[in-house]
Structure 1
Amino acid sequence: MKKLALHWKIIIGMILGIVWALLSSTLGWSAFTINWIDPFGTIFINLLKLIAVPLVLFSIIGGVANIGDPSSLGRMGGKTLGIYLLTTVMAISLGLVLVNTIQPGRLIDYDTRLDNRLSYEIWAASEGHEVKDGHSYLNDPAYAERVKKVSALSTAKIDASIVSDKLAKAENQQNVSPLQPLIDIVPENFFASLSNNGLMLQIIFFALFFGVCLLYIPNEKAQPVLKLVDGINEVFLKMVDLVMQAAPFFVFALLAGVVSKMAGDDVGKVVEIFKGLSWYSLTVLVGLLLMIFVIYPTILKLFVKKISYIGFFKAVSPAQTLAFSTSSSAATLPVTMECVEQNLGVNKKISSFVLPIGATVNMDGTSLYQAVAVIFLAQMHMANLSLEQQLIIVVTTTLASIGSAAVPSAGLVMLIVVLNSVGLNPVWIAIIFPVDRILDMFRTVVNVTGDTVVCSIIADGENMLDYKGTKNPTETFDLDS
């Protein structure tokens, strides 16, 4: 087992975790799994988040200060944000093409969709919204009896405890001035930002500001600070090494807990959850897998010819498997940085600048999922969205993805904002909530893969990519080296 690559160990841990969860569910041990095994998964995510925030801070400060030329920093920053924005729009467009082609919402039986439509019109009338496609089933005499008996899926499955906090967060997100996002980037108390993972943009702003200022002070005064920053950075990277040695065991606990919470003491619950949302889940998965295995490698090959298809995936597989198990780009960030630096040969000046920004603003997987989810929910409520409304989804989803925190299920909060933008009922998120955690794992793999691709492109463009072929990913976290 010692010579086995880390990503294979993590995959084995994931499989064993799922098998254990299903077995414990069958035997009625789910409470034991949730109470005594799942907490170790939570500890694992907490450890990675503990490392991620200070690592982002000191990596960006060191990366910016070591660039040496403020004009280079501006050029690199513009290219980074531009490519991230381009891949986000591509992901959303792919999601819209797939959901309009497969039409998963229309594969639900007609009677259910008709009840859903009546429920939607009742909600729209009560909230003072205009039904977007202009049709009214509610006032049609042919459906008078059905209106009295309507019991739509969109309301029947709503659990207030699931959606109430997300609705409140989304409402706060919308009731702000146009320049509020810009205000939110600048912290009034940096130490408060450090204690809140959701304020990663503020940490990045401070790190960039600090690093740029180091460029403008005399070298003899800047060097001691840089040595301190580099030393602290090395300490946190060693923390990553130590934590990753136990990653397969932590991942076992994490997956066992996730599946046990879904199944309870009835394995059939997992099957039923996916059966009811099978076409929706399949549409999202097809889009996410296309991004991982087709879109990203194609983009990478266009700009960086020296990295082969197989070589790329071998290099970033530890970050991908960890992203899948944790569902958090921020928690995966320390491992992502080591993968691109040691396996792809990206200079630390590039990775320490591009990757932390990507973990915050690049949410391609989340964007694709939101686009599919909105159209799917509209389809299953017989609400036909026009091309103009779907373009609104592209714009809103792009902005919402930038605002999504790099933590599990944060995309659900932003999905409410997107639903509101096209006049659909935000409480509908309860319908897709049961499969969100599993899909979130795949979304995070997309996000992390996109970060590594963009980082490689920027590094190659700046002549800071020294790719020497595929190494065994185990070497990335080898304590004996």
Structure 2
Amino acid sequence: MSNSKKKLSLTSRIIIGMVAGIIVGSILRYGIGEAQWVDEYLTNGLFHIIGQIFITSLKMLVVPLVFVSLVVGTCSLSDPSKLGRLGGKAVGMYLITTAIAISLAIAAAMFVKPGEGVERQADTTYSAAEAPSLVDVVIGLFPDNPIQAMAEGNMLQVIVFALLFGIAVALVGESGQRIKSFFEDINEVIMKLVVILMNLAPYGVFALMAKLFVETGLETIGNLAKYFVLVLVVLFVHALVTYPILLRLLARVSPMMFLRKMRDAQIFGFTTASSNATLPITLETVTKRMGVSNSVGSFTVPLGATINMDGTAIMQGVATVFIAQVYGLDLTVADYLMVILTATLASVGTAGVPGVGLIMLAMVLQQVGLPVEGIGLIIGVDRLLDMTRTAVNITGDSMVSMVVARSEGDLDEDVFNDKDAGKKLEEL
């Protein structure tokens, strides 16, 4: 066979699967309607099974991948104090980008006024889960049972244990080298599993999108079109303007090459709507395709997947102004500054909590005296927005990884500038 008939790239196959899923889901919703066999055998049958198996398979790799790659990266550090620098730079960058994101969102919402003319429904209700206190968050960083932390997927605790374990491996000399070699071999096996799942992604993406568009009608978006479009626009501005500017200024690399290499991970993030589920793909992209060393990427990417909430912060900024306008309440400049501060710090404080986006929004609304019940107004369109903001979040994780790697001299520019770097990893 000649090379003229090359098989489609992974990105092309995933996009085809996504578009096909949207088309099939829309046909089933608007062409067939609420037929019982569609709901029983397709929506909650075939599509649900394939989609959930795909997401579960990705999540299956998250804990072993984070633990093993962090151990390998940490025990490879020649200077243990480097961990402190990495942590400080990464957390600082994540907080800065989150503050920029919510500031953009608030400014855009104040200009566009998405809540004007929207009628408040009388039966709108929402019960917010209680956010943990700062003391509980700090104590909760350290696992009393690391195996339980892994079983529960508590990523911050897994990260802390992996860092401590990696430091210990580096300090025990010859036996530590044997353990390091063992973990490096395990890491290669896990990365091969990631590649296998990447090649099955088009089928999982098709099922997820088909199910979503059977269940979510365009009429849901129509009721909140101004809010929906505004959040999308700010998300795109942050991803395509803010990140490239920071990347050019701080990492001194081509934003266009960065965005080109992010496509696969962004599509995974969009369809799974989970930074944690997409983490194996993000880490693969950052280290193999962008040239960030494993010692940096294995730390910054899992940390970002846990605490980086730029996309969520944008939703909170627009939603806060939207809810204030719907309820006819005026916020002062001090209130808006408090929103920015609360959302930025809450991105770390609520890390790892299920439903973190809405919990953070509830905290923000309470802080400035807005009714938490207003969250019920936007829940209908939040799923589609959640998909987009996840893609933005993982783009931010990767951008910060690039910046930190550049500052530490751990960025391989030859790999980054090679448009085909890491492409062979997509092939079984």
Q: TM-score, normalised on structure 1? A: 0.83
Q: What secondary structure sits across from 1:81 in the alignment? A: helix
Q: Give the aligned partner of residue 149 of structure 2.
A: 193
Q: Give the aligned partner of residue 80 of structure 1.
A: 90
Q: Give the aligned partner of residue 250 of structure 1.
A: 204
Contact 1:408 1:440 in 2 (8 A): no
Contact 1:57 1:203 in 2 (8 A): yes
Q: Give the aligned partner of residue 62 of structure 2.
A: 52
Contact 2:288 2:422 in 1 (8 A): no
Q: 1:2 to 1:440 in 2, by over 3 A?
A: farther
1:223 aligned to 2:227? no
Contact 1:91 1:368 in 2 (8 A): yes
Q: Give the aligned partner of residue 36 of structure 1.
A: 46
**Corresponding letter in the other structure for 2:279:** L
How many angstroms apart in 2 are the aligned matches of 1:327 and 1:91?
19
1:286 aligned to 2:233? yes
Q: Give the aligned partner of residue 115 of structure 2.
A: 105
Q: Give the aligned partner of residue 156 of structure 1.
A: 123
Q: Give the aligned partner of residue 140 of structure 1.
A: none
1:478 aligned to 2:420? no
Q: 1:462 to 1:286 in 2, by over 3 A?
A: same
Match of 1:3 among 7, 25, 28: 7
Shift of 1:2: 5.3
1:301 aligned to 2:301? no
Q: Deviations over 1:55-75 (max 9, x none)?
A: 111111111110121122212
Shift of 1:476: 5.0
Shift of 1:237: 0.7
Shift of 1:107: 4.1
**Corresponding letter in the other structure for 2:202:** P
Shift of 1:410: 3.4
Q: Deviations over 1:276-329 (max 9, x none)?
A: 111111111111000111110111011222x32321112111101110010111
**Corresponding letter in the other structure for 2:321:** I
Q: Give the aligned partner of residue 457 of structure 1.
A: 403
Q: What secondary structure sits across from 2:412 in the alignment? A: coil
Match of 1:348 among 280, 294, 302: 294
Q: 1:77 to 1:348 in 2, by over 3 A?
A: same
Q: Give the aligned partner of residue 431 of structure 1.
A: 377
1:232 aligned to 2:181? no
Q: Deviations over 1:397-434 (max 9, x none)?
A: 11222245569853123222222222222222111001
Q: Deviations over 1:69-100 (max 9, x none)?
A: 11222122211111111111111111111111
Contact 2:156 2:352 in 1 (8 A): no
Contact 1:7 1:318 in 2 (8 A): yes
1:212 aligned to 2:167? yes
Shift of 1:214: 2.3
Match of 1:329 among 272, 275, 284: 275
How many angstroms apart in 1 are the aligned matches of 2:385 and 2:306?
19
Between stretches 68-77 and 296-305, larger displacement belongs to 68-77
Q: 1:20 to 1:474 in 2, by over 3 A?
A: farther
How many angstroms apart in 2 are the aligned matches of 1:214 and 1:229?
11
**Corresponding letter in the other structure for 1:207:** A
Shift of 1:39: 1.8
Q: Give the aligned partner of residue 261 of structure 1.
A: 215
1:65 aligned to 2:56? no
- Match runs of 1:88-99 below 5 Å: 88-99=98-109
Q: What secondary structure sits across from 1:104 in the alignment? A: coil
Shift of 1:250: 0.7
Shift of 1:8: 2.0
Q: What secondary structure sits across from 2:369 in the alignment? A: coil
How many angstroms apart in 2 are the aligned matches of 1:314 and 1:98?
27
How many angstroms apart in 2 are the aligned matches of 1:200 and 1:71?
22
Q: Deviations over 1:246-286 (max 9, x none)?
A: 10111000111112222xxxxxxx22211111111111111
Contact 1:371 1:393 in 2 (8 A): yes
1:19 aligned to 2:23? yes
How many angstroms apart in 2 are the aligned matches of 1:79 and 1:17?
40
Contact 2:124 2:373 in 1 (8 A): no
Q: 1:473 to 1:214 in 2, by over 3 A?
A: closer
Structure (1 or 2) with the larger CA radius of gyration: 1
Contact 2:75 2:169 in 1 (8 A): yes
User: For the aligned residues, what is the CA RMSD?
Assistant: 1.9
Contact 1:70 1:215 in 2 (8 A): no
**Corresponding letter in the other structure for 1:180:** D
- Aligned-residue identity in percent: 39
**Corresponding letter in the other structure for 2:32:** L
How many angstroms apart in 2 are the aligned matches of 1:350 and 1:71?
13
Q: 1:407 to 1:335 in 2, by over 3 A?
A: farther
**Corresponding letter in the other structure for 1:359:** A
Q: What secondary structure sits across from 2:116 in the alignment? A: helix
Q: TM-score, normalised on structure 2? A: 0.92
Q: Give the aligned partner of residue 132 of structure 1.
A: none
Q: 1:441 to 1:476 in 2, by over 3 A?
A: farther
Match of 1:273 among 217, 220, 229: 220
Structure 2: gaps spanning 5 or more residues:
none
Between stretches 391-400 and 43-52, larger displacement belongs to 391-400
Shift of 1:445: 0.8
- Match runs of 1:305-454 below 5 Å: 305=252, 307-404=253-350, 410-454=356-400
Q: What secondary structure sits across from 1:40 in the alignment? A: helix
How many angstroms apart in 2 are the aligned matches of 1:344 and 1:298?
17
Q: Give the aligned partner of residue 158 of structure 2.
A: 203
Q: 1:293 to 1:303 in 2, by over 3 A?
A: same
